[in-house]
Amino acid sequence: MPIGGGSPTSLQSTVSLPELSDLLTREFQFVQGLEDPNDALQMFMSDPIANNTGNSRLIQEVDTETYAKTKAQGANAAKAQVGVGYSVTMYLKRVAREVEVTFEERTQNKYLEISAKLTSLTDFVPQRRNLDLTHILSFGTSTSYTDMDGISNDLTVGDGKELFYSGHLLKFSSSTYSNRLSGDPVFSQGSYEAIMTMANTQILSNFGETREMDFNVIVSGKDVVTVNAVKQFLKSSSDVTQNNPGVINTHQNEMRHIVLSKLATTALGAYDSTKRKWWGVAAVGQGGRGWQSRYSESEAPNLKMPAKGNNGEDFHNDNWAFGVRGGYGIKVLSGRGIIFSCPAS
CATH of the domain at 41: 3.90.1690
Predicted TM-score of the model (pTM): 0.88
20 within domain boundaries: no
pLDDT of residue 16: 60
Q: How far is CA 249 from the centre of its chain?
A: 31
Per-residue b/e over 296-334, b at no fewer than 16 CB within 10 Å?
A: bbbbebeeeebeeeeebbeeeeebbbbbbbbbbbbbbbb
Distance CA 285, CA 320 (A): 42
At 227 the three-state DSSP class reads helix
Does residue 211 lie in a domain region? yes
* Confidence at residue 80, expressed as pLDDT on a 0 to 100 scale: 94
Q: How many domains does the chain divide into?
A: 1
pLDDT of residue 68: 95
In the prediction, which pLDDT does 31 show? 52
pLDDT value of residue 201: 96
Q: What is the DSSP letter of 333?
A: -
Secondary structure class of 115 (helix, strand, coil): helix
pLDDT of residue 238: 78
Range of the domain at 225: 32-62+86-341
Q: Is residue 221 part of a domain?
A: yes
Quote the pLDDT of residue 28. 45
Are the C-beta atoms of residues 319 and 313 closer than 8 Å to each other? yes
Is 24 inside a domain boundary? no
CA distance 343 to 271: 16
165 within 8 A of 335, measured Cβ to Cβ: yes
C-beta neighbour count of 27 within 10 angstroms: 5
Low-confidence ranges of the chain (pLDDT < 50): 1-3, 23-29
Instruction: Please list, in sequence order, all residues whose beta carbon lies within 8 angstroms of the beta carbon of residue 302, skipping any fewer than 6 positions away.
Output: 324, 325, 326
Q: Is 217 inside any structural domain?
A: yes
Residue 173, domain member (yes or no): yes
SS3 109: coil
Is residue 185, in this structure, part of any structural domain at all?
yes
C-alpha span between 179 and 51 (Å, rounded): 36
State how far the Cα of 309 lies from the Cα of 312, in Å rounded to an integer.
Answer: 8
Q: Which among 320, 263, 303, 341 is positioned nearest to 126, based on CA atoms?
A: 303
Return left, alpha or beta for 11; rule: phi > 0 is left, psi -120 to 50 is alpha, else beta: beta
Predicted local confidence at residue 111, as pLDDT? 53
In a domain, 151, yes or no: yes
Q: Which residues contact 244 (CB under 8 A, 6 or more apart)?
A: 238
